[in-house]
Structure 1
Amino acid sequence: MLKSAYRPPGEPGLWHDFLAQLERTLAQVEAHPATVEYLIHPRRTVALTVPVQLDDGTVHFFSGYRVVHNIALGPARGGVRFHPRVSMGQTVGLAAIATVQSAIFHLPYGGAAGGVAVDPRRLSKGELERLTRRYAAELVDVIGPDKDILGPDLGTGEREMAWMMDTFSTNRGFTEPGVVTGKPPQLGGVSKRGEAVGRGVLYAVETFAEFKDLRLEGSTVAVQGYGKIGRAVVRLFAEAGARVVAVSDEWGAVYNPEGLDHKTLLAHFKETGRVEGFSGAHTIGREALVGLEVDFLILAAVEGVLHEGNVEQVRAGVVVESAVGAITAEADEHLRQRGVPVIPDVLVGGGGLTMDYLEWVQNFSMFNWSDDRVWLAMQRRVSQTLREVCEYAEDQEIDLRLASYVLGVDRINVATHMQGVYP
């Protein structure tokens, strides 16, 4: 396996998986040695101590991170995650995957990622705002619309992006909406951006199904994860004619082979805060969902949910990796050996990435496009990219993840070689 001189403290996780995938890729594409070195050495890693005064007057220190992995194709761009499991190893891995994803989708971005190790549900609104603003203030000198663009991720959304934008703008003395994406529409964000990731999943699966002569309408779907993305996925797939038979969250899972009514399920979730107890289905173990015999298994929660310990249970026709790193490198290899198709995270997440790009472009031009124009542009970008990768994978007789990385790394290699190394 590739040996990176950079070794983040703690469990490497996503960074380890990225290096494993990069090694597979380099056996298929001729990359200049300098390109490889750039890819295995993050450009900038920042570890922060984020002090926050809590409502009771005490001060608590949180660990925060921001990583810029590569800027060969343009300024860095990546989400900010608020979650207890945030670490440097996870953040470096997320940034590296973002680098390759932007290249795959022909977008002028490098890769970045950031976050704070915190459970945002345990903070009051005031505490969360103070945490968010302090995190952004610590990064003022290294972020910006032409340097490093922040976006939403697990545990953050429009509200947090608005606070970060205001903090950056206040420190700079002028309004700068382009420093973040995923903002409220009133501040220059894209309308209904929250649906973008879910729609991106739908468009990716629709394109894959069309390419493979599969039918999405009438197919059976299980969705692992019922957060903002999972809820959108359930609704959109149901509206597209698929039969969503199972859904899980962090507490449990529900299953009905005849299909779940997504509207009443959502009402139950809003009332109780979990899917368990839904009267339109029976409860199953959370882990049991990955072993259901369905046409599409959609992983829409966090990384590492499909691993060596449970991958043998998978009986789905196609696994859709909506959450970044949801499938470990070992589990991915197992699925390849079994011939189970995987639509990887770098493809499935293209909807949210594309919407962030369209928002950023509008902020630069100071002109807002209609919702129809934005949605159509996003759908076209996702569908064209999926077809391109599917055609390349079929021609080369390789899996979609490897095909994606080969195309992405090749574009990064060309850009790196053309720019050279600054002396």
Structure 2
Amino acid sequence: MPEKTMIHSAWQTALTQLDSVSKLMMLPEDIHQILRSFDRILTVSVPVRMDDGFLRVFTGFRVQHNASRGPYKGGVRYHSELTLDDLKALAMEMTWKCSLAGVPFGGAKGGIVCNPKTFSKNELERLTRRYTYAIMPIIGIEKDIPAPDVNTNEQIMAWIMDMYSVKNGYCTPGIVTGKPVNVGGSLGRTDATGLGIVFTITNAMKQKKMNLKGIKVVIQGYGNVGSAVGKFLSEMGCKTIAVSSSRGGIYNPKGLSHDALIKYYTKNGSFEHFPHAESVTNASLLELPCDVLVPAAMENQITKENADKIKAKIIVEGANGPTTIEADQILSGRKIPVIPDILANAGGVIVSYFEWVQDAQCYFWCENEVNARLKNLMNRSYEEVYALSREKKLNMRTAAMMIAVKKVADAISVRGIYP
């Protein structure tokens, strides 16, 4: 794995991408400076009484980037190595992701610096409720709508919803998305990001005039997103030849059964010693020959150190920021298309938007309707980005960023600055 000192931070990368497309678009400097800035950054202390009776104080954040196109939207993550710069990069990316998809939200991100895997369920609930209380002044159905992210799930969203509802004195399901269906969640939300990636892969294969059936796929990170990609692709006749978890991966050029992978991982907690497969590292997995590579694990996985060794015909980013700026340039030079994260993995925020709409209407859709609407928006976004990339002779990331930034810039311009 490359050393972190050899790559840009996520925040440096986000700023560099914005500066680059702003220059390319000849964006007015005043708008550019607004987009480089944040509407609000809140830091809170989160005191929690642990099960052993001792009090521990954690640090939490909520970062709100830009609300020119609508209320803030973004996940909440619990992680021991979480930094404010991480959240700034992710909040800015959420602004572009919502804008590109045509979803009327701005970007936000939040989280707590902690290791939730060491917490009991009761400690986790107390942590979540106290964090909700701390950020309550700046969240709301028409202000900022949190969602699950790394190490958070629908149960945590239910606690946030309940805490907010108790404080308001009435049930407020629309305050979060990604919550359980029986308290206002949407059908199709769990697999939405993975399904959106599959729609993107389908579009990319059409553009390359490749038959989807039988293509060989490598998925780094076979978690919630990666496993959903594997499930849907296997149903479509594709062949997943390599997958991984944080503890390493496995490879079989003849293909791996999705059902067998899930059953084995559920029982063992890793893919180590999976039958009839060769063990591979997360780094070497990226260099396997395949038609489609889906990095769906962590950021900064494809770097200048390994970009020239990639053998995939196309890369579809399932994770946020898995490809560094230097790697992007190398891959572009090698004519390997990269479908960027703000386009490929937007399925989650799109269905979160659907959930928010359903909560507001108190009228819920069947899963087929959710998936059909998701497909429509994902296809529309892909076609828009692909058309601009062809017209301007740009790579897909630059085209996607230009479209996303322009929509937000136009919203700022037409609304004006007060006073």
Q: Confirm or deny a common fold (TM above 0.5).
A: yes
Counterpart of 2:136 in 1: which secondary structure? Answer: coil
Aligned length: 413
| In structure 1, distance between residues paired with 2:149 and 2:417 | 32
Where do 1:123-134 residues align within 5 Å?
123-134=119-130
1:45 aligns to what?
A: 41
Cα deviation for residue 394 of structure 1 reads 1.0
* Alignment counterpart, residue 248 of structure 2, candidates 248, 252, 261: 252
* Alignment counterpart, residue 363 of structure 1, candidates 356, 359, 362: 359
* Alignment counterpart, residue 384 of structure 2, candidates 382, 388, 397: 388
Gaps of 5+ in 2: 1-6
2:267 aligns to what?
A: 271
2:201 aligns to what?
A: 205
Cα deviation for residue 310 of structure 1 reads 2.8
1:333 aligns to what?
A: 329
Q: Does structure 2 retain, via aligned residues, the 8 Å contact 1:32–1:413?
A: no
Residue type of the partner of 2:300? Answer: G
1:287-340 residue CA offsets vs partner (Å, 9 max, x unmatched): 110110111110111212222333333111111111111112222222222221
| In structure 2, distance between residues paired with 1:148 and 1:30 | 31
Cα deviation for residue 280 of structure 1 reads 3.2
2:77 aligns to what?
A: 81
Counterpart of 1:190 in 2: which secondary structure? Answer: coil
| In structure 2, distance between residues paired with 1:398 and 1:384 | 18
- CA change 1:74–1:158 in 2 (3 A) is same
| In structure 2, distance between residues paired with 1:138 and 1:180 | 16
- Percent identity for Structure 1 against Structure 2: 35
Residue type of the partner of 1:182? Answer: G
Residue type of the partner of 1:355? Answer: V
Q: Does 1:160 align with 2:156?
A: yes
Q: Does 1:146 align with 2:154?
A: no
Cα deviation for residue 277 of structure 1 reads 1.2
* Alignment counterpart, residue 410 of structure 1, candidates 400, 406, 410: 406
Residue type of the partner of 1:384? Answer: R
| In structure 1, distance between residues paired with 2:81 and 2:323 | 17
Give the alignment's TM-score, normalised by structure 1: 0.95
Counterpart of 1:323 in 2: which secondary structure? Answer: coil
| In structure 2, distance between residues paired with 1:186 and 1:256 | 40
RMSD value, Cα: 1.4
| In structure 1, distance between residues paired with 2:358 and 2:281 | 45
Counterpart of 2:279 in 1: which secondary structure? Answer: strand
| In structure 2, distance between residues paired with 1:154 and 1:236 | 22
Residue type of the partner of 2:71? Answer: P
| In structure 2, distance between residues paired with 1:49 and 1:30 | 41
| In structure 1, distance between residues paired with 2:324 and 2:110 | 21
| In structure 2, distance between residues paired with 1:51 and 1:12 | 33
Range that drifts further, 293-302 or 53-62: 53-62
Range that drifts further, 216-225 or 365-374: 365-374
Gaps of 5+ in 1: 1-10
Range that drifts further, 303-312 or 225-234: 303-312
* Alignment counterpart, residue 175 of structure 1, candidates 167, 171, 177: 171
| In structure 2, distance between residues paired with 1:12 and 1:141 | 34
Cα deviation for residue 12 of structure 1 reads 7.7
* Alignment counterpart, residue 104 of structure 2, candidates 88, 101, 108: 108
Q: Does structure 2 retain, via aligned residues, the 8 Å contact 1:261–1:280?
A: no
Q: Does 1:286 align with 2:282?
A: yes
Counterpart of 1:61 in 2: which secondary structure? Answer: strand
Cα deviation for residue 152 of structure 1 reads 0.9
Counterpart of 1:208 in 2: which secondary structure? Answer: helix
| In structure 2, distance between residues paired with 1:74 and 1:32 | 22
Q: Does structure 1 retain, via aligned residues, the 8 Å contact 2:187–2:365?
A: no
1:57 aligns to what?
A: 53
Q: Does structure 2 retain, via aligned residues, the 8 Å contact 1:50–1:135?
A: yes
| In structure 2, distance between residues paired with 1:247 and 1:333 | 26
* Alignment counterpart, residue 132 of structure 2, candidates 128, 133, 136: 136
| In structure 2, distance between residues paired with 1:92 and 1:341 | 27
Q: Does 1:419 align with 2:404?
A: no
* Alignment counterpart, residue 94 of structure 2, candidates 72, 93, 98: 98
Cα deviation for residue 168 of structure 1 reads 0.9
Q: Does structure 1 retain, via aligned residues, the 8 Å contact 2:188–2:371?
A: no
Counterpart of 2:185 in 1: which secondary structure? Answer: coil
1:6 aligns to what?
A: none
Residue type of the partner of 1:40? Answer: R
Counterpart of 1:298 in 2: which secondary structure? Answer: strand
| In structure 2, distance between residues paired with 1:60 and 1:301 | 30
Q: Does 1:323 align with 2:319?
A: yes
Q: Does structure 1 retain, via aligned residues, the 8 Å contact 2:191–2:228?
A: yes
Residue type of the partner of 1:190? Answer: S
Q: Does structure 2 retain, via aligned residues, the 8 Å contact 1:222–1:244?
A: yes
